[in-house]
Structures are given as structure tokens and as C-alpha cells.
């Protein structure tokens, strides 16, 4: 019997924004294991090079299917930088992308209502809302226009059950939730989803292999 599921990503093209660590790196690993071609994206060339090397060492047979590029979704020139990523991933539009995954973002620090200012609201939105909006704007030009294509964004549980000191981040998260729902209509037949992630308590002194196991555990829950 021919496989019904394990070949779904074979030879597909996947761009993972924030794909050099954590859940993004685990998504890149899983995509490679299912036969996809992967481009991992991060803010710095150092992170990109390190992630590509780790992936190629873990999957030597897939080395030619692993590439990397830099991009900072929070920068003023984010749209231009995202365009460079997709020009690279598609060889200037010659080979369209099938899936885009974005796990990029800074870890949110609590900001109370008394501490909230327009400037830190804009700063919080830059990665977690504006960056993803620009990502969708550019990505749709390079995605296969079919229901089999997708954009997957990530958020956090604090949007739906915010702890004390979380009004700013809950608001930004709610905006991202609404953005995702709107994009799902705007970009159809391309599918757009938001996955809410939960921290599992990884500490700095845990080794890389344990970090990867946690990342895989997170991915399996998606």
C-alpha cells in the first residue's frame, strides 16, 4: 500500500522564519525527515550558518535540501528583506513555495498597564503583528496558489488566558489572532493558521539534545 501521509511533504518547498532554534528548528527537522526542501531564516548570519550546519550534520543525506537566509521581521526594511528571502527560496520565482512557517519573535516581558506607552506597544507589535503582516503580504506572491499551500503563524497562551501584567501582550496577541482569521479569507485557497505555543520550562543549563527533545515534544502537540 502506498503511504498516505509520509509522502505529503516530499519535494515540497518550506520556508521557516525563526527556524534556527526551538519550535522553528524542530519544524525544519520534521520537514526534512518528511522529504521537503527547507530554507531556515533568522536575524543573524551566525544563527543561520549554525542551524544549517546542525541540520546537515543530523541529516547528511538531505544536505542539498537545506539552505538558510537572514531576515529581521522587526526591521524598518522588513518587506524588502522578506522579498529577498523568497527570491532566494524560489530562485527568483522559478520554483514556488508550498508552506511558510513563522516562529520568529522576542520573548515577551510583562508590561503593566501603568508602564504601557505608545512606543513599547509599537515595539511589541513589530515582530508579533507587523512583521507577520508583511510576511503574508510578500509570501502570497511566492506561494503555490492552492489549498495544499499554507502559512502557519505562532502565538502564545497568554493571548487567551493572560496572567497579571499582560495587557499589552494580550492585546498584540489578540490582534494577531484577528489578523490570522482575516488572512485566511484574504488569501484563500491558501490556508492560514495560528498555533498557540506553551513554554515547557527549558533552562539555560540543559544541553542541546534535551532542547531538541523539548522542541520535538512541542511540535508533536501542534
Averaged over 28-43, what is the pLDDT? Answer: 97
pLDDT given at position 197: 83
DSSP the chain: ---SSTTTTTT-EEEEETTTSHHHHHHHHHHHHTT-EEEEEESSHHHHHHHHHHHHHH-GGGGGGEEEEE--TTSTTHHHHHHHHHHHHHTTTTS-BSEEEE---PPPPP--TTT--HHHHHHHHIIIIIHHHHHHHHHTTTB-SSTT-EEEEEEEGGGTSPPTT-HHHHHHHHHHHHHHHHHHHHTTTSEEEEEEE------TTS-HHHHHHHHHHHHHH-
Residue 5 lies in a domain: no
Residue 169 lies in a domain: yes
d(CA 173, CA 53): 33
pLDDT given at position 6: 78
User: What domain count does the chain have?
Assistant: 1
Looking at the predicted structure, is the pLDDT value of residue 123 above 80?
A: yes
Mean model confidence pLDDT for the chain: 87
CATH of residue 122's domain is: 3.40.50.720
pLDDT given at position 34: 96
Q: Are strands 37-42 and 66-70 parallel, antiparallel or unpaired?
A: parallel
Looking at the predicted structure, is the pLDDT value of residue 99 above 80?
A: yes
How far is residue 25 from each of residues 17, 19, 67, 75, 133, measured CA to CA in Å? 10, 5, 13, 22, 22
Residue 8 lies in a domain: no
Looking at the predicted structure, is the pLDDT value of residue 105 above 80?
A: no
Q: Which has more pLDDT, 217 or 44?
A: 44
pLDDT digits (tens, 9 = 90+) for 57-83: 999 999 999 999 999 998 889 999 999
Would you place residue 218 in the very low, low, confident or very high pLDDT band (cuts 50, 70, 90)?
A: very low
Would you place residue 222 in the very low, low, confident or very high pLDDT band (cuts 50, 70, 90)?
A: very low
d(CA 122, CA 82): 20
Looking at the predicted structure, is the pLDDT value of residue 141 above 70?
A: yes
Residue 208 lies in a domain: yes
pLDDT given at position 219: 42
Domain containing residue 204: 13-221
Residue 152 lies in a domain: yes
Averaged over 29-54, what is the pLDDT? Answer: 96
Spatial CB neighbours of 36, under 8 Å, sequence gap ≥ 6: 9, 10, 11, 12, 13, 14, 65, 98, 99
pLDDT given at position 221: 42
pLDDT digits (tens, 9 = 90+) for 4-31: 777 889 999 999 999 899 999 999 999 9
Least confident range from 100-114, 153-167, 200-214: namely: 200-214
Q: Which has more pLDDT, 45 or 200?
A: 45
Residue 165 lies in a domain: yes
What sign does the CA torsion over 194, 198, 200, 205 have? positive
pLDDT above 90 as % of the chain:
63
Averaged over 127-155, what is the pLDDT? Answer: 95
Residue 147 lies in a domain: yes
Bridge partners, 192 (sequence order): 151
Residue 7 lies in a domain: no
Amino acid at each position: 500500500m502506498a503511504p498516505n501521509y509520509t509522502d505529503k511533504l516530499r519535494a515540497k518547498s518550506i520556508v521557516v522564519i525563526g527556524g534556527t532554534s526551538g519550535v522553528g528548528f524542530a519544524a525544519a527537522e520534521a520537514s526534512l525527515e518528511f522529504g521537503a526542501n527547507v530554507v531556515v531564516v533568522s536575524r543573524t548570519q551566525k544563527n543561520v550558518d549554525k542551524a544549517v550546519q546542525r541540520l546537515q550534520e543530523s541529516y547528511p543525506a538531505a544536505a542539498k535540501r537545506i539552505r538558510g537566509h537572514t531576515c529581521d521581521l522587526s526591521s524598518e526594511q522588513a518587506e524588502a528583506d522578506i522579498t529577498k528571502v523568497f527570491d532566494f527560496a524560489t530562485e527568483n520565482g522559478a520554483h514556488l513555495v508550498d508552506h511558510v512557517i513563522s516562529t520568529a519573535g522576542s520573548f515577551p516581558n510583562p508590561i503593566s498597564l501603568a508602564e504601557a506607552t505608545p512606543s513599547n506597544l509599537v515595539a511589541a507589535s513589530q515582530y508579533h503583528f507587523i512583521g507577520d503582516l508583511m510576511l503574508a503580504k510578500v509570501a502570497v506572491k511566492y506561494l503555490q496558489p492552492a489549498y495544499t499551500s499554507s502559512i502557519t503563524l505562532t502565538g502564545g497562551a497568554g493571548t487567551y488566558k493572560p496572567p497579571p501584567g499582560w495587557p499589552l501582550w494580550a492585546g498584540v496577541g489578540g490582534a494577531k489572532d484577528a489578523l490570522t482569521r482575516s488572512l485566511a479569507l484574504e488569501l484563500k485557497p491558501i490556508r492560514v493558521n495560528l498555533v498557540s505555543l506553551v513554554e515547557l520550562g527549558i533552562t539555560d543549563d540543559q544541553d542541546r539534545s534535551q532542547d531538541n527533545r523539548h522542541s520535538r515534544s512541542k511540535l508533536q502537540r501542534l
